[in-house]
Structure 1
Amino acid sequence: MKGYRILIVEDDLMIGELLQQILQQEEYYVRWEKDGREVMEHIHNIDLVIMDVMLPGEDGYQLTKRIKALGLNIPIIFLSARQDMDSKLHGLTMGEDYMIKPFDPRELLLRMQKMLEHQYGTYTQIKQLYIDGEHKRVYHEHLHDEVALTAIERKIFFYLYDHKDRILTKEHFLDYLWQLEDRNHNIINVHIQKIRTKINDINGEIIQNIYGEGYRLNTYMKK
């Protein structure tokens, strides 16, 4: 999932600008702070931190202590020019990873990806949506904008998701959801329309209506 929110805390303008540009190209949401003064104000909306160790004012370790003290389980990757083993071990004890400057951005991206997948799981992207099939959650563009589905809407959406790119008839839905003698097909249409509104799919590009047959969750489209 590329919609994660990444905080860069780096006072070196060249490194900060490079990281910001690379991460934005990779479709991450990026916030760049040149010191620690506003970090705590925004930390609750962050999924991963790239933290320089040597900063004006509070250093990266002090900021990390304050972040961890909030009970936030946010992965932190330290960047430092210090190559001695004591510095590495201290960084790995304080945070989740430690990289030495100068570094290859490709290595950083790979480490970030592995860390994010380990921390948050993997997601399926369909157009503007990020879908967590394991935990049955749907997000608009990033992890801090979950789509508020009701229990029945969630069941319908993930029934479609579990059978994505296959046509499901209204009989399929009724058998799965209710198994009642009173089989009102119209109630499926009502719930599908509500889901489409919530996921900004008014034109039915994601949840397609296959005329005379049923509905299909379409994954074959450009983002």
Structure 2
Amino acid sequence: MRKIALITLLSLPLFAGFFPQTVHTSIKSVKENAITLNSKFPVNGMSGIVIHNYGNDLTAITSRITQTSSDGSAALVSADILYHENLPTIKTAVSPKDKVIGGYLYNNVLLLAPDADTYAKITSQHTKKWIHPDLFALYLSVEGEEKPTKENLSHFAKKYQVGLVYIVRKNSAVLLDPISGKIVSQKSMTSLPEKGNFPFYMRFEALDSGWFGSKTEGNYYNTMESL
């Protein structure tokens, strides 16, 4: 009876609920640009890092990949792991037996919400390392960006080690993997404000530099639907 219960437990999905769990696996095979994992990620679009062992206890993150098919097929996303212009780019190719961490930094979450109440409610419901949107607002201001895009979210995520972007939309919430640019989870939401703060909730009313210093207006929900 205990064995049956254990088998049932082990057969459950790798994640239950909204947040996919981090997965530790390895590279099974590599053929040109086609990568196969020994154990698949729980959802397609989930990104991960590849760790190569050089021997003598020396390892390094060499690449980013994303799962493209539920059979464990993956593709190379980028090799710009070290986010610093003065550091060399690692050129080690992905190889069989390289270790893989799927959902790398998925516990670090940036939340884009329509207002302070929604932000507080969500962050109180989940134990995550929440990256405050103030930091993203400052980043956009310095970069001179007008609103969130998949491109600037990807750059921000690499620079500030963000694993997921929790996006509140009109009647739903989605989790965006900023590295792959894919939605990896979604659910319905109710009791949201009719109109959200543009471009998203933050504690700044205005900044002295960039577009935040002007009276730029827009629609929060339309902006979030575009991501």
Same fold by TM (over 0.5)? no
Bucket of the pairwise TM-score, normalised by the shorter protein:
under 0.3
Higher relative contact order (CA 8 A, sep 6+): 2
Kindly indicate which of the two structures has a greater share of residues assigned to helix.
1
Q: Which has the larger radius of gyration?
A: 1
Query: What TM-score, normalized by structure 2, do the two folds share?
Result: 0.25
The TM-score normalised by the length of structure 1 is 0.25
